[in-house]
A and B are shown apart, each in its own frame.
Chain A
Protein backbone atom coordinates (compact mmCIF):
# COMPACT_ATOMS: atom_id res chain seq x y z
CA UNK A 1 0.00 0.00 0.00
CA UNK A 2 2.58 2.54 1.11
CA UNK A 3 4.84 1.26 -1.63
CA UNK A 4 2.26 2.14 -4.20
CA UNK A 5 1.93 5.58 -2.68
CA UNK A 6 5.69 6.14 -2.88
CA UNK A 7 5.75 4.98 -6.45
CA UNK A 8 3.11 7.49 -7.37
CA UNK A 9 4.96 10.19 -5.51
CA UNK A 10 8.21 9.48 -7.33
CA UNK A 11 6.48 9.31 -10.66
CA UNK A 12 4.98 12.74 -10.06
CA UNK A 13 8.32 14.14 -8.95
CA UNK A 14 9.99 12.65 -11.98
CA UNK A 15 7.40 14.19 -14.22
CA UNK A 16 7.80 17.56 -12.56
CA UNK A 17 11.54 17.40 -12.94
CA UNK A 18 11.10 16.54 -16.59
CA UNK A 19 8.82 19.53 -17.11
CA UNK A 20 11.20 21.80 -15.24
CA UNK A 21 14.12 20.49 -17.31
CA UNK A 22 12.21 21.10 -20.52
CA UNK A 23 11.30 24.61 -19.36
CA UNK A 24 14.89 25.30 -18.42
CA UNK A 25 15.97 24.03 -21.83
CA UNK A 26 13.54 26.39 -23.56
CA UNK A 27 14.61 29.20 -21.25
CA UNK A 28 18.22 28.46 -22.01
CA UNK A 29 17.47 28.73 -25.69
CA UNK A 30 15.66 32.01 -25.01
CA UNK A 31 18.60 33.42 -23.11
CA UNK A 32 20.97 32.38 -25.87
CA UNK A 33 18.86 34.18 -28.46
CA UNK A 34 18.53 37.28 -26.34
CA UNK A 35 22.13 37.33 -25.16
CA UNK A 36 23.81 39.28 -27.99
CA UNK A 37 21.22 42.03 -27.93
CA UNK A 38 21.03 42.12 -24.13
CA UNK A 39 24.80 42.39 -23.89
CA UNK A 40 25.02 45.31 -26.30
CA UNK A 41 21.97 46.98 -24.82
CA UNK A 42 23.47 46.76 -21.35
CA UNK A 43 26.78 48.07 -22.58
CA UNK A 44 25.47 51.03 -24.55
CA UNK A 45 22.24 51.95 -22.79
CA UNK A 46 22.02 50.67 -19.21
CA UNK A 47 25.65 50.99 -18.21
CA UNK A 48 25.97 54.54 -19.57
CA UNK A 49 22.96 55.69 -17.57
CA UNK A 50 24.44 54.19 -14.39
CA UNK A 51 27.88 55.61 -15.22
CA UNK A 52 26.36 58.98 -15.92
CA UNK A 53 24.71 59.08 -12.51
CA UNK A 54 27.94 57.92 -10.87
CA UNK A 55 30.20 60.44 -12.60
CA UNK A 56 27.76 63.25 -11.88
CA UNK A 57 28.92 63.15 -8.25
CA UNK A 58 32.58 63.39 -9.18
CA UNK A 59 35.10 65.72 -10.74
CA UNK A 60 36.40 63.87 -13.77
CA UNK A 61 38.47 65.15 -16.68
CA UNK A 62 39.56 61.80 -18.23
CA UNK A 63 43.25 62.42 -17.44
CA UNK A 64 42.93 62.17 -13.67
CA UNK A 65 40.95 59.59 -11.74
CA UNK A 66 37.39 60.69 -10.87
CA UNK A 67 37.30 62.49 -7.51
CA UNK A 68 34.13 62.33 -5.41
CA UNK A 69 32.72 65.80 -4.75
CA UNK A 70 29.16 65.03 -3.68
CA UNK A 71 26.43 67.30 -4.97
CA UNK A 72 28.85 70.02 -5.96
CA UNK A 73 28.18 69.64 -9.70
CA UNK A 74 24.44 69.98 -9.25
CA UNK A 75 24.78 72.93 -6.90
CA UNK A 76 27.00 74.88 -9.25
CA UNK A 77 24.77 73.96 -12.20
CA UNK A 78 21.69 75.42 -10.58
CA UNK A 79 23.17 78.26 -8.55
CA UNK A 80 26.20 79.44 -10.48
CA UNK A 81 25.88 78.48 -14.11
CA UNK A 82 23.88 81.24 -15.80
CA UNK A 83 24.40 79.73 -19.22
CA UNK A 84 22.90 76.44 -18.04
CA UNK A 85 19.84 78.30 -16.81
CA UNK A 86 19.49 79.89 -20.24
CA UNK A 87 19.78 76.39 -21.71
CA UNK A 88 17.11 75.02 -19.37
CA UNK A 89 14.83 77.93 -20.14
CA UNK A 90 15.28 77.52 -23.91
CA UNK A 91 14.83 73.76 -23.78
CA UNK A 92 11.63 74.07 -21.80
CA UNK A 93 10.37 76.83 -24.09
CA UNK A 94 11.02 74.65 -27.13
CA UNK A 95 9.59 71.54 -25.49
CA UNK A 96 6.46 73.23 -24.17
CA UNK A 97 5.65 74.92 -27.46
CA UNK A 98 6.79 72.44 -30.11
CA UNK A 99 6.08 69.28 -28.09
CA UNK A 100 2.29 69.51 -27.60
CA UNK A 101 1.80 71.41 -30.84
CA UNK A 102 3.81 68.91 -32.86
CA UNK A 103 1.99 66.04 -31.19
CA UNK A 104 -1.42 67.51 -31.93
CA UNK A 105 -0.42 68.34 -35.50
CA UNK A 106 0.81 64.76 -36.01
CA UNK A 107 -2.50 63.41 -34.89
CA UNK A 108 -4.55 66.04 -36.71
CA UNK A 109 -2.87 65.37 -40.06
CA UNK A 110 -2.98 61.61 -39.58
CA UNK A 111 -6.68 61.95 -38.88
CA UNK A 112 -7.40 64.31 -41.75
CA UNK A 113 -5.67 62.14 -44.34
CA UNK A 114 -7.22 58.97 -43.00
CA UNK A 115 -10.20 59.10 -45.34
CA UNK A 116 -8.36 60.17 -48.47
CA UNK A 117 -8.23 57.70 -51.35
CA UNK A 118 -5.42 55.20 -50.98
CA UNK A 119 -2.80 56.51 -53.38
CA UNK A 120 -3.38 60.17 -52.52
CA UNK A 121 -2.88 59.22 -48.90
CA UNK A 122 0.36 57.46 -49.73
CA UNK A 123 1.74 60.57 -51.43
CA UNK A 124 0.58 62.83 -48.61
CA UNK A 125 2.35 60.66 -46.07
CA UNK A 126 5.62 60.95 -47.98
CA UNK A 127 5.22 64.73 -48.21
CA UNK A 128 4.49 65.12 -44.51
CA UNK A 129 7.10 62.64 -43.34
CA UNK A 130 9.95 63.76 -45.63
CA UNK A 131 11.19 66.64 -43.44
CA UNK A 132 11.59 64.35 -40.47
CA UNK A 133 13.11 61.36 -42.24
CA UNK A 134 15.50 63.36 -44.41
CA UNK A 135 17.23 64.53 -41.23
CA UNK A 136 19.42 67.22 -42.76
CA UNK A 137 17.03 68.95 -45.11
CA UNK A 138 16.41 71.67 -42.53
CA UNK A 139 19.78 73.22 -43.37
CA UNK A 140 18.06 74.65 -46.45
CA UNK A 141 16.38 77.14 -44.11
CA UNK A 142 19.70 78.91 -43.76
CA UNK A 143 19.19 79.95 -47.40
CA UNK A 144 15.65 81.22 -46.83
CA UNK A 145 16.62 83.12 -43.70
CA UNK A 146 19.99 84.38 -44.84
CA UNK A 147 21.16 87.46 -42.98
CA UNK A 148 21.75 89.62 -46.07
CA UNK A 149 19.11 90.99 -48.41
CA UNK A 150 19.56 87.98 -50.72
CA UNK A 151 17.71 85.73 -48.28
CA UNK A 152 14.10 85.14 -49.26
CA UNK A 153 12.63 86.31 -45.97
CA UNK A 154 14.62 89.53 -45.96
CA UNK A 155 14.05 90.22 -49.65
CA UNK A 156 10.34 89.72 -49.24
CA UNK A 157 10.05 91.93 -46.17
CA UNK A 158 12.18 94.66 -47.77
CA UNK A 159 10.21 94.61 -51.00
CA UNK A 160 6.99 95.13 -49.11
CA UNK A 161 8.51 97.85 -46.98
CA UNK A 162 8.22 96.17 -43.61
CA UNK A 163 11.91 96.62 -42.84
CA UNK A 164 14.69 98.91 -44.13
CA UNK A 165 17.71 96.83 -43.26
CA UNK A 166 18.05 93.03 -43.55
CA UNK A 167 17.48 91.11 -40.35
CA UNK A 168 20.22 88.80 -39.14
CA UNK A 169 17.77 86.00 -38.42
CA UNK A 170 20.17 83.57 -36.83
CA UNK A 171 22.30 86.13 -35.01
CA UNK A 172 19.61 88.25 -33.45
CA UNK A 173 18.45 86.68 -30.18
CA UNK A 174 14.92 87.93 -30.79
CA UNK A 175 14.45 85.75 -33.86
CA UNK A 176 16.63 82.71 -33.27
CA UNK A 177 14.34 80.63 -31.10
CA UNK A 178 11.05 81.40 -32.88
CA UNK A 179 12.52 80.44 -36.25
CA UNK A 180 14.04 77.28 -34.80
CA UNK A 181 10.67 76.38 -33.33
CA UNK A 182 8.96 76.80 -36.69
CA UNK A 183 11.55 74.51 -38.25
CA UNK A 184 11.20 71.96 -35.45
CA UNK A 185 7.44 71.99 -35.94
CA UNK A 186 7.93 71.47 -39.66
CA UNK A 187 9.98 68.38 -38.77
CA UNK A 188 7.65 67.14 -36.06
CA UNK A 189 5.62 64.67 -38.13
CA UNK A 190 7.87 61.72 -37.32
CA UNK A 191 7.52 58.19 -36.00
CA UNK A 192 4.51 59.21 -33.92
CA UNK A 193 2.76 60.45 -37.04
CA UNK A 194 3.31 57.11 -38.80
CA UNK A 195 2.05 55.28 -35.74
CA UNK A 196 -1.10 57.42 -35.75
CA UNK A 197 -1.68 56.85 -39.46
CA UNK A 198 -1.37 53.10 -39.00
CA UNK A 199 -3.49 53.11 -35.87
CA UNK A 200 -6.31 55.04 -37.50
CA UNK A 201 -6.38 52.58 -40.36
CA UNK A 202 -6.69 49.76 -37.87
CA UNK A 203 -9.77 51.01 -36.02
CA UNK A 204 -12.53 48.49 -36.55
CA UNK A 205 -15.15 49.92 -38.91
CA UNK A 206 -18.05 48.18 -37.19
CA UNK A 207 -17.45 50.34 -34.12
CA UNK A 208 -18.28 53.40 -36.17
CA UNK A 209 -21.45 51.76 -37.42
CA UNK A 210 -22.42 50.96 -33.85
CA UNK A 211 -21.66 54.57 -33.03
CA UNK A 212 -24.05 55.89 -35.68
CA UNK A 213 -26.75 53.69 -34.23
CA UNK A 214 -26.07 55.05 -30.77
CA UNK A 215 -26.53 58.59 -32.01
CA UNK A 216 -23.09 59.97 -32.69
CA UNK A 217 -23.81 63.09 -34.68
CA UNK A 218 -20.60 64.54 -36.05
CA UNK A 219 -16.97 63.75 -36.64
CA UNK A 220 -15.86 65.37 -33.40
CA UNK A 221 -18.00 63.07 -31.28
CA UNK A 222 -16.83 60.17 -33.38
CA UNK A 223 -13.23 61.21 -32.74
CA UNK A 224 -13.58 61.52 -28.97
CA UNK A 225 -15.81 58.53 -28.25
CA UNK A 226 -14.62 55.97 -30.79
CA UNK A 227 -11.37 56.87 -32.49
CA UNK A 228 -9.27 58.16 -29.58
CA UNK A 229 -10.03 55.36 -27.09
CA UNK A 230 -9.05 52.86 -29.78
CA UNK A 231 -5.81 54.70 -30.40
CA UNK A 232 -4.54 54.83 -26.84
CA UNK A 233 -1.46 52.62 -27.32
CA UNK A 234 -0.42 54.62 -30.39
CA UNK A 235 -1.06 57.87 -28.55
CA UNK A 236 1.30 56.66 -25.83
CA UNK A 237 3.96 55.69 -28.35
CA UNK A 238 3.64 59.03 -30.13
CA UNK A 239 3.94 60.86 -26.82
CA UNK A 240 7.15 59.02 -25.98
CA UNK A 241 8.64 59.91 -29.36
CA UNK A 242 7.60 63.56 -29.07
CA UNK A 243 8.89 64.05 -25.53
CA UNK A 244 12.21 62.41 -26.29
CA UNK A 245 12.82 64.52 -29.36
CA UNK A 246 11.55 67.83 -28.01
CA UNK A 247 13.75 67.77 -24.91
CA UNK A 248 16.73 66.63 -26.96
CA UNK A 249 16.71 69.54 -29.38
CA UNK A 250 20.20 70.59 -30.42
CA UNK A 251 20.76 69.68 -34.08
CA UNK A 252 18.63 72.44 -35.50
CA UNK A 253 19.79 75.15 -33.13
CA UNK A 254 23.45 74.20 -33.47
CA UNK A 255 23.39 73.96 -37.25
CA UNK A 256 21.48 77.19 -37.86
CA UNK A 257 22.33 79.52 -34.98
CA UNK A 258 25.90 78.42 -34.55
CA UNK A 259 27.70 76.88 -31.62
CA UNK A 260 28.04 78.82 -29.42
CA UNK A 261 25.25 81.13 -30.53
CA UNK A 262 25.10 84.89 -30.00
CA UNK A 263 24.50 85.64 -26.30
CA UNK A 264 23.83 81.90 -25.86
CA UNK A 265 20.32 82.70 -27.08
CA UNK A 266 19.95 79.33 -28.80
CA UNK A 267 21.68 77.24 -26.15
CA UNK A 268 19.80 74.13 -25.08
CA UNK A 269 20.56 71.58 -22.39
CA UNK A 270 22.11 69.22 -24.91
CA UNK A 271 24.30 71.97 -26.37
CA UNK A 272 25.53 72.73 -22.87
CA UNK A 273 26.23 69.05 -22.39
CA UNK A 274 28.36 68.96 -25.54
CA UNK A 275 30.14 72.12 -24.49
CA UNK A 276 31.29 70.66 -21.17
CA UNK A 277 31.72 67.09 -22.34
CA UNK A 278 33.52 67.45 -25.65
CA UNK A 279 34.98 70.96 -25.61
CA UNK A 280 36.07 71.35 -21.99
CA UNK A 281 36.33 67.67 -21.04
CA UNK A 282 34.68 68.25 -17.67
CA UNK A 283 33.01 64.87 -17.80
CA UNK A 284 31.64 64.94 -14.26
CA UNK A 285 29.90 68.22 -14.87
CA UNK A 286 28.59 67.06 -18.25
CA UNK A 287 27.26 63.89 -16.64
CA UNK A 288 25.38 65.96 -14.08
CA UNK A 289 23.71 67.76 -17.01
CA UNK A 290 22.96 64.44 -18.69
CA UNK A 291 21.48 63.01 -15.50
CA UNK A 292 19.22 66.02 -15.12
CA UNK A 293 18.11 65.70 -18.71
CA UNK A 294 17.47 61.99 -18.15
CA UNK A 295 15.30 62.71 -15.11
CA UNK A 296 13.37 65.46 -16.90
CA UNK A 297 12.62 63.15 -19.85
CA UNK A 298 11.57 60.16 -17.75
CA UNK A 299 9.40 62.20 -15.35
CA UNK A 300 7.75 64.05 -18.20
CA UNK A 301 7.02 60.75 -19.94
CA UNK A 302 5.46 59.27 -16.82
CA UNK A 303 3.33 62.39 -16.27
CA UNK A 304 2.07 62.45 -19.86
CA UNK A 305 1.28 58.74 -19.79
CA UNK A 306 -0.91 59.05 -16.73
CA UNK A 307 -2.64 61.97 -18.45
CA UNK A 308 -3.22 59.97 -21.63
CA UNK A 309 -4.84 57.13 -19.74
CA UNK A 310 -7.84 59.40 -19.23
CA UNK A 311 -8.46 59.99 -22.93
CA UNK A 312 -11.97 59.17 -24.06
CA UNK A 313 -13.39 58.63 -20.58
Chain B
Protein backbone atom coordinates (compact mmCIF):
# COMPACT_ATOMS: atom_id res chain seq x y z
CA UNK B 1 0.00 0.00 0.00
CA UNK B 2 1.26 3.35 -0.97
CA UNK B 3 1.38 6.10 1.58
CA UNK B 4 -0.31 9.28 0.59
CA UNK B 5 2.27 12.05 0.69
CA UNK B 6 1.86 14.35 3.65
CA UNK B 7 1.61 17.59 1.71
CA UNK B 8 -1.16 16.19 -0.49
CA UNK B 9 -3.23 15.12 2.50
CA UNK B 10 -2.79 18.51 4.02
CA UNK B 11 -3.77 20.26 0.83
CA UNK B 12 -6.85 18.04 0.45
CA UNK B 13 -7.97 18.77 3.99
CA UNK B 14 -7.53 22.48 3.45
CA UNK B 15 -9.49 22.38 0.23
CA UNK B 16 -12.28 20.39 1.80
CA UNK B 17 -12.50 22.83 4.66
CA UNK B 18 -12.54 25.73 2.25
CA UNK B 19 -15.28 24.20 0.15
CA UNK B 20 -17.55 23.45 3.09
CA UNK B 21 -16.99 26.98 4.28
CA UNK B 22 -18.03 28.35 0.91
CA UNK B 23 -21.16 26.17 0.87
CA UNK B 24 -22.18 27.48 4.24
CA UNK B 25 -21.71 31.02 2.94
CA UNK B 26 -23.36 32.75 0.04
CA UNK B 27 -24.17 29.54 -1.88
CA UNK B 28 -23.85 30.96 -5.35
CA UNK B 29 -20.25 31.85 -5.11
CA UNK B 30 -18.80 28.38 -5.14
CA UNK B 31 -16.68 27.66 -8.14
CA UNK B 32 -15.37 24.15 -8.20
CA UNK B 33 -13.67 22.87 -11.34
CA UNK B 34 -16.46 21.96 -13.71
CA UNK B 35 -16.75 18.87 -15.93
CA UNK B 36 -14.57 16.86 -13.63
CA UNK B 37 -15.49 13.19 -14.02
CA UNK B 38 -15.10 11.37 -10.76
CA UNK B 39 -14.91 14.60 -8.83
CA UNK B 40 -16.44 14.17 -5.38
CA UNK B 41 -18.40 17.40 -5.01
CA UNK B 42 -21.30 18.32 -7.24
CA UNK B 43 -20.02 20.79 -9.77
CA UNK B 44 -22.01 23.77 -10.90
CA UNK B 45 -21.43 25.60 -14.11
CA UNK B 46 -20.42 29.11 -13.25
CA UNK B 47 -22.90 31.48 -14.73
CA UNK B 48 -20.78 33.51 -17.03
CA UNK B 49 -20.20 34.53 -20.58
CA UNK B 50 -19.94 32.43 -23.69
CA UNK B 51 -16.56 30.85 -23.18
CA UNK B 52 -16.86 28.53 -20.25
CA UNK B 53 -13.82 27.39 -18.33
CA UNK B 54 -11.77 24.91 -20.26
CA UNK B 55 -10.69 22.12 -17.95
CA UNK B 56 -7.54 20.21 -18.61
CA UNK B 57 -6.87 17.08 -16.72
CA UNK B 58 -3.53 15.66 -15.84
CA UNK B 59 -2.59 12.77 -13.68
CA UNK B 60 0.51 13.23 -11.65
CA UNK B 61 2.90 10.44 -10.80
CA UNK B 62 1.50 10.19 -7.32
CA UNK B 63 -1.82 9.23 -8.86
CA UNK B 64 -3.57 12.41 -7.89
CA UNK B 65 -5.75 13.85 -10.50
CA UNK B 66 -5.32 17.54 -10.76
CA UNK B 67 -7.69 19.80 -12.43
CA UNK B 68 -6.34 22.95 -13.80
CA UNK B 69 -8.95 25.41 -14.69
CA UNK B 70 -8.27 28.44 -16.69
CA UNK B 71 -10.79 31.09 -16.17
CA UNK B 72 -12.96 32.00 -19.08
CA UNK B 73 -14.28 35.38 -19.88
CA UNK B 74 -15.82 36.92 -16.82
CA UNK B 75 -15.96 33.68 -14.81
CA UNK B 76 -14.53 33.73 -11.35
CA UNK B 77 -11.20 31.95 -11.27
CA UNK B 78 -11.64 28.72 -9.32
CA UNK B 79 -8.71 29.04 -7.04
CA UNK B 80 -8.18 27.38 -3.71
CA UNK B 81 -7.66 29.20 -0.42
CA UNK B 82 -3.91 29.33 -0.81
CA UNK B 83 -4.05 30.02 -4.52
CA UNK B 84 -3.99 26.36 -5.48
CA UNK B 85 -5.48 25.36 -8.78
CA UNK B 86 -5.55 21.63 -8.06
CA UNK B 87 -7.11 19.29 -5.59
CA UNK B 88 -6.84 15.69 -4.57
CA UNK B 89 -9.55 13.57 -6.20
CA UNK B 90 -8.46 10.06 -5.38
CA UNK B 91 -5.47 7.98 -4.50
CA UNK B 92 -5.06 4.75 -6.43
CA UNK B 93 -3.16 2.12 -4.52
CA UNK B 94 -0.43 0.34 -6.45
CA UNK B 95 -1.89 -3.14 -6.02
CA UNK B 96 -5.43 -2.28 -7.06
CA UNK B 97 -4.98 -1.76 -10.77
CA UNK B 98 -1.84 -3.63 -11.57
CA UNK B 99 -0.52 -6.85 -10.14
CA UNK B 100 2.98 -6.22 -8.97
CA UNK B 101 4.88 -9.48 -9.12
CA UNK B 102 7.35 -9.67 -6.31
CA UNK B 103 9.11 -12.69 -7.76
CA UNK B 104 9.20 -13.45 -11.46
CA UNK B 105 7.97 -16.98 -12.21
CA UNK B 106 9.81 -19.26 -14.61
CA UNK B 107 7.22 -20.00 -17.27
CA UNK B 108 7.08 -21.87 -20.56
CA UNK B 109 4.69 -21.65 -23.48
CA UNK B 110 1.76 -24.06 -23.38
CA UNK B 111 2.33 -24.62 -27.09
CA UNK B 112 4.45 -26.66 -27.64
CA UNK B 113 5.64 -27.70 -24.19
CA UNK B 114 2.35 -28.69 -22.54
CA UNK B 115 0.23 -29.55 -25.58
CA UNK B 116 2.78 -31.97 -27.00
CA UNK B 117 2.95 -33.77 -23.67
CA UNK B 118 -0.82 -33.99 -23.43
CA UNK B 119 -1.08 -35.22 -26.98
CA UNK B 120 1.51 -37.94 -26.43
CA UNK B 121 -0.15 -39.00 -23.18
CA UNK B 122 -3.56 -39.27 -24.84
CA UNK B 123 -2.09 -41.21 -27.77
CA UNK B 124 -0.36 -43.62 -25.40
CA UNK B 125 -3.56 -44.10 -23.43
CA UNK B 126 -5.57 -44.73 -26.62
CA UNK B 127 -2.98 -47.22 -27.84
CA UNK B 128 -2.91 -49.06 -24.53
CA UNK B 129 -6.69 -49.19 -24.35
CA UNK B 130 -7.03 -50.42 -27.94
CA UNK B 131 -4.45 -53.17 -27.56
CA UNK B 132 -5.74 -54.25 -24.16
CA UNK B 133 -9.33 -54.31 -25.44
CA UNK B 134 -8.31 -56.30 -28.49
CA UNK B 135 -6.96 -59.09 -26.28
CA UNK B 136 -9.05 -58.99 -23.10
CA UNK B 137 -12.82 -59.19 -23.35
CA UNK B 138 -15.20 -57.50 -20.96
CA UNK B 139 -17.09 -60.09 -18.95
CA UNK B 140 -20.62 -61.04 -19.97
CA UNK B 141 -22.06 -63.77 -17.79
CA UNK B 142 -25.41 -65.45 -18.25
CA UNK B 143 -28.51 -63.28 -18.44
CA UNK B 144 -29.70 -61.76 -15.15
CA UNK B 145 -31.75 -64.15 -13.04
CA UNK B 146 -33.19 -62.79 -9.77
CA UNK B 147 -33.90 -66.36 -8.61
CA UNK B 148 -30.32 -67.56 -8.92
CA UNK B 149 -27.97 -65.90 -6.46
CA UNK B 150 -24.33 -66.47 -7.35
CA UNK B 151 -22.04 -67.47 -4.50
CA UNK B 152 -20.22 -65.26 -3.69
CA UNK B 153 -22.14 -62.13 -4.77
CA UNK B 154 -19.78 -59.20 -4.96
CA UNK B 155 -20.14 -55.48 -5.56
CA UNK B 156 -17.94 -53.73 -8.16
CA UNK B 157 -14.29 -53.74 -7.07
CA UNK B 158 -14.25 -50.13 -5.83
CA UNK B 159 -17.07 -50.96 -3.39
CA UNK B 160 -15.50 -54.19 -2.19
CA UNK B 161 -13.79 -52.34 0.65
CA UNK B 162 -17.25 -51.41 1.90
CA UNK B 163 -18.49 -54.95 1.44
CA UNK B 164 -15.49 -56.15 3.40
CA UNK B 165 -16.42 -53.75 6.21
CA UNK B 166 -19.86 -55.36 6.22
CA UNK B 167 -18.30 -58.53 7.61
CA UNK B 168 -17.04 -56.58 10.61
CA UNK B 169 -19.67 -53.96 11.38
CA UNK B 170 -23.38 -53.34 11.39
CA UNK B 171 -24.54 -52.50 7.85
CA UNK B 172 -25.31 -48.91 8.78
CA UNK B 173 -21.82 -48.37 10.16
CA UNK B 174 -20.09 -50.16 7.29
CA UNK B 175 -22.24 -48.86 4.45
CA UNK B 176 -23.08 -45.34 5.59
CA UNK B 177 -21.19 -44.02 8.61
CA UNK B 178 -17.63 -44.99 7.69
CA UNK B 179 -17.78 -44.11 3.96
CA UNK B 180 -19.72 -40.94 4.77
CA UNK B 181 -17.09 -39.86 7.26
CA UNK B 182 -14.41 -40.75 4.73
CA UNK B 183 -15.97 -38.65 1.96
CA UNK B 184 -16.68 -35.65 4.17
CA UNK B 185 -13.33 -35.86 5.93
CA UNK B 186 -11.70 -35.87 2.52
CA UNK B 187 -13.83 -32.99 1.27
CA UNK B 188 -12.93 -30.70 4.13
CA UNK B 189 -9.25 -31.60 4.23
CA UNK B 190 -8.37 -28.13 2.95
CA UNK B 191 -10.30 -26.48 5.79
CA UNK B 192 -9.19 -28.85 8.55
CA UNK B 193 -5.49 -28.87 7.72
CA UNK B 194 -4.22 -25.46 8.84
CA UNK B 195 -0.56 -26.19 8.12
CA UNK B 196 0.37 -23.82 5.28
CA UNK B 197 3.53 -25.67 4.19
CA UNK B 198 3.65 -27.76 1.02
CA UNK B 199 6.95 -29.40 1.90
CA UNK B 200 6.74 -33.12 2.71
CA UNK B 201 9.10 -32.75 5.67
CA UNK B 202 6.68 -30.28 7.32
CA UNK B 203 3.62 -32.44 6.68
CA UNK B 204 4.57 -35.74 8.21
CA UNK B 205 1.30 -36.17 10.10
CA UNK B 206 -0.95 -35.33 7.12
CA UNK B 207 1.00 -37.58 4.80
CA UNK B 208 1.02 -40.44 7.31
CA UNK B 209 -2.72 -40.10 7.88
CA UNK B 210 -3.55 -40.01 4.18
CA UNK B 211 -1.24 -42.92 3.38
CA UNK B 212 -2.87 -44.91 6.17
CA UNK B 213 -6.30 -44.03 4.75
CA UNK B 214 -5.33 -45.13 1.24
CA UNK B 215 -3.62 -48.32 2.46
CA UNK B 216 -6.66 -49.13 4.60
CA UNK B 217 -8.95 -48.98 1.54
CA UNK B 218 -6.49 -50.72 -0.76
CA UNK B 219 -6.11 -53.59 1.71
CA UNK B 220 -9.85 -53.93 2.17
CA UNK B 221 -10.44 -53.87 -1.60
CA UNK B 222 -7.73 -56.46 -2.22
CA UNK B 223 -8.99 -58.73 0.55
CA UNK B 224 -12.59 -58.31 -0.60
CA UNK B 225 -11.61 -58.99 -4.20
CA UNK B 226 -9.23 -61.92 -3.94
CA UNK B 227 -9.46 -63.41 -0.45
CA UNK B 228 -13.20 -63.89 -0.19
CA UNK B 229 -14.72 -67.03 -1.68
CA UNK B 230 -17.99 -68.89 -1.20
CA UNK B 231 -20.23 -67.32 1.40
CA UNK B 232 -17.73 -64.42 1.50
CA UNK B 233 -15.51 -66.63 3.64
CA UNK B 234 -11.78 -66.01 3.80
CA UNK B 235 -9.79 -68.05 1.25
CA UNK B 236 -6.37 -67.96 -0.37
CA UNK B 237 -6.61 -67.18 -4.07
CA UNK B 238 -3.53 -69.23 -4.91
CA UNK B 239 -5.31 -72.34 -3.61
CA UNK B 240 -8.66 -71.85 -5.36
CA UNK B 241 -7.92 -69.43 -8.17
CA UNK B 242 -9.69 -66.10 -8.71
CA UNK B 243 -11.89 -67.18 -11.62
CA UNK B 244 -14.88 -68.12 -9.52
CA UNK B 245 -14.64 -65.29 -7.02
CA UNK B 246 -13.68 -62.13 -8.86
CA UNK B 247 -14.85 -60.42 -12.01
CA UNK B 248 -14.47 -56.94 -13.37
Task: Indicate whether A and B interact.
Answer: no
| Chain A interface residues (CB < 8 Å from chain B) | none
